[in-house]
Amino acid sequence: MAGEIRTAEVVVAADIKAIDKEKSSFTGYALSPAARLFHSPKFNCYIVAIMGCKTKINPAVVKLGLERTLIKHPRFSSKPVVDGCKGRKMKWEQTEVNLDDHIIIPNLDDGDVVESPDKFVEDYVSHLTTLPLDLNKPLWELHLLNVKTSDAEAVGVFKIHHSIGDGASLVSLLLACTRKSSDTEELPTVPMNNKPSPGAAALSGGVFLLIWTLLKLIWNTLVDLFLFAATMLFLKDTKTPIKALTVEGQQLRRFVHRTVSLDDIKLVKNALNMVQSDLFCQ
């Protein structure tokens, strides 16, 4: 991203009244079964995203951008509440968003940062995963770290509760909140794959291929159901370096990232004869 972070108002509706109407209709909307599952005590899930910037982050610019974009979205300006009339059923309730409660700018210890900035960011994000979000406000935070790492001049860390959305929907929202650096009025373009998918080509080959595909689907489904049941009953996870370590009854988790060349990803894609969407779904 060239220069300072630029944000622009999301063009969701031409009239601001349409946005207000959407927010009011969202109030009282019950959480979906998946969203309620993400609020379970033993299954409290968050999405943590780390974004590197080429310049130092100006909190005032970020705040102005969020006012024009993210908090206009109903789920980023609503909090979950328990509907007393319907037992423990949770619903979304519209609330006033105070950005000072969501934009976190920590006091950094220069000694720790200068010694190893990459490790400092990893430690900070790992510790962030242990802290629950406050249910009395919309379930998201943005941490601004003006720390120069090996990849960026500054780092922004989003922490979003999984009940707000999944990875695909949040990436789409992120793209809708940004504009091209070459033209601040244009949405960013995403390369599209116009080639027919292998599945569509196989189905056009005849009835036999269609039947064979359905049989494979049924078989794979049965195998997955068996493995799922076996994992619940007696199978254990394989011990690997990426599995969380357990020390004195507590699991220690860390976020570690690596920069991968896009040319290497394209090399793997071409070697496996895959399209980009298939590669990133693996």
In angstroms, rounded to a whole number, what is the distance separating the alpha carbons of residues 176 and 69?
9
Closest CA to 95 of 17, 173, 26, 18: 26
Beta strands in 146-215 (DSSP E): 154-161
Three-state DSSP at 260 gives coil
Surface-to-core class of residue 250, CB atoms within 10 Å of its CB (0-12 exposed, 13-18 middle, 19+ buried): exposed
Q: In what order do the strands lie in the sheet with 154-161?
A: 46-53, 154-161, 140-145, 103-104
Q: Which residues are catalytic, by number?
A: 162
CB 139 within 8 A of CB 133: yes
